[in-house]
Structure 1
């Protein structure tokens, strides 16, 4: 319910902050049909994540995974993007806020096409520190923040522009802008918005390292902060991916990383949560790319997240050295090297000389957080972050206002994304009854019949002088007229402008065009625009192709106009060849059963179920045990002193009293069938109790039969089965009543049954070992919670905590400090020197070697409390097989993507939350449960699910039912149909994502990949090789859409020059590349073939690049066949290039071209000519 019934709630939401959290919240709500105003104070969305090189613990290219999300935001018809804007005033109430926004003048209007000519001509070019590159690179007074910026529009810095400051300038920028996009008369604009809810997602600021004088930042040239190191490491950064010493631009041979700079100290008591991991990541990446020694200096290694501990071990195996100490720094005056003085493990004081130091600076609240609080009426905590409570982690303290990400406290990307989806879900729940809708649905004309013969129109773009200044555009246009079935060709100043869109529509009408080719820039950015133009003209959007003659031609061959023109002609010819074979594709829809199936009745399952029910959808809540509550029944209090019993009882009451929730206790799942939108779960109830509702007789229905079987239907499934406490096999557990687990000890404390003189606690029992290498995340917090409770009940009790690392991350660091202040003694020990436990004469003794005293300590205790690991439930494996979803090596459920899809499975329509995903605290479980509910409810809200038009199609007559395709499909989109005498595989278009891996392994070519068919790709190969130069190598490149093609785009945007010998063919995934394509290219005379894909573990389609690598490099591989044909295997090259690695892409082409020149012409080419 909203705060006032006087006015109908508004069906729109304001999201403040355009980082990954804000984008995720905006997209979730936009997909649910809400109008979204996304407000970002900077010129581009992307936030801090856009500045990162890689992300831990998968080492994904940050821009590779972020850029598609940014593009999605820019394209979504329900999202209105307000960059360079800030909120000034908030009036109204939940459901109907009146918000005033100040949109600052950009001095660039919407005509800007992002060509960059203005920046090239600016008289102050490269004069000012580039904020995106942390000042390590310069920009002009007119600039774009970074090549992938959204919106891709320039901005004038009014503080630096000569004309805006002094009214005096030659205004070369205006003269260079053919689009007339520069407007020095533009003023700040005050915008009034009406929204039902507000989500704050402003992120954080890095700590100002200059405040820590002792570390020399700002005084010692070779001391940098972590975000500066990230920009150096990034392939598109100021040093092209190589970390260089600022003092002399030399590659450092020895780098030190110092942790907790601006965290865990008197000024900022909290732990910044991410620093240990990002420093380890930086050290690993630097070590991979440069021959550098890396040493990390730390207090506690806080590798508490999913797979974090294993990541640290990988780093150690790479010979990254860790020192548990806080060093001092002094600079060597002549060399500018840094001397670090620190205490070594043996207690001796040592000194080491480093070429460079990286300070792991902490996360601070945004500088304008107080202004935000004053304007919005939300509260801040003692540190300046938005105040939240443990049981309501995304509620900002004022109804209708929610918070996500680091604005409520330091957290990493997955936690931010979870909270973003959680906040979006809460906003959706608040506004579930709203009727005032600002979303306008587009109406399109009905689709035309295209006829049997192709009639192609080709539109060649000048892009100002970006293309026309290098490529002879009229020559390319005239050449296009000679190509098969081209009936119209024209040249345009800017193909993406509104006037050219009208020109394309008019040409389609006047020349009866049924297929269109646009030769301009990248399909990754502009294809949706042109496809929409076709739809508005009554043509199927898939009767379209783009030739990228800017990013892949004029920009990267700017000094070779003749060759660039010849390449542009080839690219147009290849596009025409493909579009000649294009057919209309249909995006079909399937209805979604508008109810949810939630598996697990603990706090996560109940939270998810209640959230979905509160949005108006039926829920079946399935619980294996006889009552709801899960692990939370064993929790009696929290570190923040929340009344957990009251919270749990209230949650159970809300669930049991909600008419839309049907509860099935004592119920086990026997099988799962179906797919997104239409799942069937077959259950068995051992006690015959089902549909449990709290009524006067407590049970609504009782079936006295021993077993009750039920079939439940739903459009989505949420897995919330939880985890369990490990039962120790070590430390003499079970032999003495005084040796307990933390949960057993907490039970005693809750009954005030602990009366002890001395207590010891041992951490990491059953985890962080060879068998279970992961950290269980909650154990340190639970131990300190129980230790403090003992002190509360009996202040004289001595307590000893034996630990490897204390991992009270975030704001819980204050409780670690409080524990020490109250006399709780923490004894650190090394990982390989476990405590020894003995029982002598009924007395419990614990002996351990203190890592700081370097001496054994033996303690006799009344209670020994073991902080046991959190392990997966015993039935997790069976459930994963029924759902056809994967598990991690440690037995927890594996999400679709650790960073950006932390609650989705790869199998669409199934979601994960709580400790079934991994160990986590209560607030984190609640956030993830709300997120899972929010993500699931998107499908329920839509009521339909769309098929992927670019998907697999199987010829049942050709299929021999070998099953190769079923094995390789990462999305479970293929199934064997055994209903008829002839068995064959069927493809479910609702699950297929169009990667094409299945078509490659089909031995009888029964699988067609729509829009990327074999015949289309082979036609492009033939078109590219119709003319073969005698004195230059010609290369065919097959590159995946998401990374390598994007890397080529990045090379273009960055103007990295490389030889014009390559012709790129875009496929969705490197796993789609058939051996036949490579053989055909070589047989038709290509001197070399390049295969480009995402880096291993970065694949957009999970595993496509792994299959490509095996196919090309493994046993009986493509390279082997090439050698058997008498060709040098070096003519086939496999490269992983990320979306951010433009320089690497250019380097690869340059080196490959030189290598092929040395090899000489393809012998098959000579045979063809003879």
Structure 2
């Protein structure tokens, strides 16, 4: 469209006292010839917004607002049908620089130039609307507590639901349990899920497949084409989103340390086996069928152990307390012992612990118990931490090992590592852990299941997006997501269903879901220049790009999270968004006014992640923390979207240093886009070699990891880098 640009400069919140708005207006009018340029004392007021709306009615369709951070007032400055860009001259200029200084004014003018350069390249995003009909149906995989809750929540909200369960009956593990210990922990409840099962079976919006499995899952949100197999026949259905509630299995007791006695002594059983004995009314010694009058429970059998399950399985303590009390209910004179490392009964579950103590259950805090055979039965020995001496409990009829939870996604062969994806001259991209676990059977180029963490649970951003998997539109719930009890699993299933519904509604509008919720842009590929290098498909953290038989990328826009990692990965720069592109950021860099070396005013470009480091810069400004005035910040959707050409553009423009501010990466990453900052750091290794060859100091480019809570450290980081640039000296390419 033909652009009529309006620039609106706010002078409120101290901006007018710190800057010269008239000079800012001159930059817009004299250097860029904008059609409209106005100042207002409170642009976010109704009167200020009405000024903009009146100009829109007069034909202004491209708006640059020089005021507060784009992270605030975004609802007020949202004008349908108009290109809008926000220039942050409050938090990152007026509030972090001395008022009235020449450098402060120069910083604001540069930011306005960069905003105007950006809107000149921007186009209005057009929502993605596939030619195929999209579905609003929800697929739930797994008929346990979480799956039943997810199915009911979505169905009650008016969505058609298909529930697929591999067993003959619904209910999952809870169906095999005689009684469940749950809120308020005053008594145990049998048939805990019966009501849920009946509601699911009789709900008009729910179709149930039992003794069934998923043969194939293709497509993406709104377009998932799923083949379901049942009793030798198969049916295909299209779904809008998927809830993965496939559940868990107990840790294999055969892998436990032999000193715990499993496999050596018949009367050593797991908590799951003990539960089956209770449910069948067959509480007898497995070895000889004798009565059970003395039992020891050994908690954390393999859990919280770096050689087995390093994590806590959450429910073992509560389940063992319940089982101990069930023995006491059957035989009040029975001797029941619980050997524990730390007793974990949070919240009202403490009542269960207290109830067991009152019933006469004996608790021993022992970190390393071992089981032996004695003259009158089994013996458990160990060092009791509280009394500070060795203890020995003998004459035991039964020893019960509380083994932990393992998600069903933790099994199978790793199928994702493909050496042919890496070219010799390229830096290796970290591979995901994807196991062929035969749950979803995804037809994704990146692997047949969702990526998992090293312990087998689906990978996601556990702080910000707890239900999301790395495959957009697929939401994990229940014990496949993390260990939890049945009540928590029901809440979890409901939460995952709500996320699935949100995903369905947003993709029908052509919008992105998390974390750029509402973004209507999506990557466009200029295929004429594609060299089939596979970098976009390899580096995309979300599996949003498949390949055809000739290795041409096949984008799936409804899977896309709009992070731009593919754009940063592409050496040919053929990938762009209508409002975010390599050329656009390049023009913003070139729009900076770079003083010559004699003015002794170096310029430092900061490429900052919009999810962590950019907000941290805002927070530093809110607290009036000062930092070096040579800084010029450009927010990136993700540092993984950084294309190396931007650093080359910056240095060739005479900019003296480039600082990349990304998220923490590694096993406990904080990147909203999983590995964006890690990929940026990998790419940075190449640019440093290039700088050395060009006789430009590699210290001119630096990478720092910053979390949103590190705002207090940012001024020191920025000032330290500025000091280093001053030591190195001016960029020799100034003026060329």
Structure 2 length normalisation: TM-score?
A: 0.87
Task: Give the aligned partner of residue 433 of structure 2.
Answer: none
Say which SS state the counterpart of residue 714 (structure 2) adopts.
Answer: helix
Residue in structure 2 matching 1:848, options 382, 391, 403: 382
1:888 maps onto 2:453 in alignment: yes
CA contact (8 A) 1:757 1:862 kept: yes
Cα distance in structure 1, aligned partners of 2:66 and 2:252: 65
1:1041 maps onto 2:610 in alignment: yes
Deviations 1:929-956 (A, max 9, x none): 1212222233456782423433321112
Cα distance in structure 1, aligned partners of 2:501 and 2:493: 12
CA contact (8 A) 1:455 1:485 kept: no
Q: 1:904 to 1:827 in 2, by over 3 A?
A: same
Deviations 1:1021-1053 (A, max 9, x none): 111045446212111221121222212211221
Moved more, 939-948 or 910-919: 939-948
Q: 1:1051 to 1:651 in 2, by over 3 A?
A: closer
Structure 2 matches for 1:527-566, cutoff 5 A?
527-532=74-79, 535=80, 540-541=81-82, 543-566=83-106
Structure 1 length normalisation: TM-score?
A: 0.56
Task: Give the aligned partner of residue 324 of structure 2.
Answer: 787
Shift of the alpha carbon at 1:565?
A: 1.6
Structure 2 matches for 1:600-999, cutoff 5 A?
600-639=142-181, 640=185, 644-685=189-230, 688=231, 707-729=232-254, 730=258, 731-750=260-279, 751=281, 753=283, 755-769=291-305, 770-830=307-367, 834-840=368-374, 843-851=377-385, 852-873=387-408, 874=411, 877-879=437-439, 882=442, 884-894=449-459, 896-939=460-503, 944-947=508-511, 948-978=519-549, 983-999=551-567
Deviations 1:946-995 (A, max 9, x none): 234333211122222222111111122111134xxx65213222222222
Cα distance in structure 2, aligned partners of 1:1069 and 1:553: 23
CA contact (8 A) 1:1012 1:1067 kept: no
Cα distance in structure 2, aligned partners of 1:1137 and 1:796: 60
Deviations 1:1075-1124 (A, max 9, x none): 11112211111111111122331212121111112222x4xx32222222
Shift of the alpha carbon at 1:757?
A: 3.0
Structure 2 matches for 1:571-582, cutoff 5 A?
571-582=111-122
Q: 1:726 to 1:570 in 2, by over 3 A?
A: closer
Cα distance in structure 1, aligned partners of 2:146 and 2:612: 36
Cα distance in structure 1, aligned partners of 2:673 and 2:478: 25
Task: Give the aligned partner of residue 109 of structure 2.
Answer: 569
Cα distance in structure 1, aligned partners of 2:473 and 2:30: 49
Shift of the alpha carbon at 1:785?
A: 0.7
Deviations 1:621-662 (A, max 9, x none): 111122222101221113336664433333322222223322
Q: 1:836 to 1:546 in 2, by over 3 A?
A: closer
CA contact (8 A) 1:471 1:562 kept: no
Deviations 1:243-275 (A, max 9, x none): xxxxxxxxxxxxxxxxxxxxxxxxxxxxxxxxx
1:1118 maps onto 2:687 in alignment: yes
1:463 maps onto 2:7 in alignment: no
Q: 1:678 to 1:479 in 2, by over 3 A?
A: closer
CA contact (8 A) 1:1052 1:1142 kept: no
Q: 1:1107 to 1:716 in 2, by over 3 A?
A: same
Say which SS state the counterpart of residue 1077 (structure 1) adopts.
Answer: helix
Q: 1:759 to 1:498 in 2, by over 3 A?
A: same
Task: Give the aligned partner of residue 502 of structure 1.
Answer: 50
Deviations 1:178-216 (A, max 9, x none): xxxxxxxxxxxxxxxxxxxxxxxxxxxxxxxxxxxxxxx
Say which SS state the counterpart of residue 1022 (structure 1) adopts.
Answer: helix
Structure 2 matches for 1:1028-1107, cutoff 5 A?
1028=596, 1030=598, 1031-1096=600-665, 1097-1107=669-679
Q: 1:1077 to 1:807 in 2, by over 3 A?
A: same
Shift of the alpha carbon at 1:723?
A: 0.7
Shift of the alpha carbon at 1:675?
A: 0.7
CA contact (8 A) 2:529 2:572 kept: yes
Unaligned runs of 5+ in 1: 1-449, 689-706
Unaligned runs of 5+ in 2: 285-290, 413-435, 443-447, 512-518
Q: 1:614 to 1:515 in 2, by over 3 A?
A: closer
Cα distance in structure 2, aligned partners of 1:522 and 1:741: 57
Deviations 1:527-557 (A, max 9, x none): 443232xx2xxxx33x222222222212222
Shift of the alpha carbon at 1:911?
A: 1.4
Cα distance in structure 2, aligned partners of 1:606 and 1:559: 60
More RCO (CA 8 Å, sep 6+): 2
Say which SS state the counterpart of residue 456 (structure 2) adopts.
Answer: coil
CA contact (8 A) 2:134 2:240 kept: yes
CA contact (8 A) 1:950 1:993 kept: no
Q: 1:526 to 1:986 in 2, by over 3 A?
A: farther
CA contact (8 A) 1:945 1:990 kept: no
CA contact (8 A) 1:1036 1:1064 kept: yes
Shift of the alpha carbon at 1:737?
A: 4.1
Structure 2 matches for 1:1131-1170, cutoff 5 A?
1131-1165=700-734, 1168=735
Shift of the alpha carbon at 1:599?
A: 0.9
Task: Give the aligned partner of residue 261 of structure 1.
Answer: none
Shift of the alpha carbon at 1:1073?
A: 1.6
1:1008 maps onto 2:576 in alignment: yes
CA contact (8 A) 1:635 1:644 kept: no
1:1023 maps onto 2:591 in alignment: yes
CA contact (8 A) 2:122 2:580 kept: no
Deviations 1:380-401 (A, max 9, x none): xxxxxxxxxxxxxxxxxxxxxx
Cα distance in structure 2, aligned partners of 1:917 and 1:563: 51
Structure 1 moving runs of 4+ over 6 Å: none
CA contact (8 A) 2:381 2:390 kept: no
Deviations 1:300-326 (A, max 9, x none): xxxxxxxxxxxxxxxxxxxxxxxxxxx
CA contact (8 A) 1:1056 1:1142 kept: no
Shift of the alpha carbon at 1:588?
A: 3.6
Cα distance in structure 2, aligned partners of 1:1091 and 1:920: 39
Cα distance in structure 1, aligned partners of 2:198 and 2:35: 70
Shift of the alpha carbon at 1:469?
A: 0.6
Cα distance in structure 1, aligned partners of 2:470 and 2:723: 41
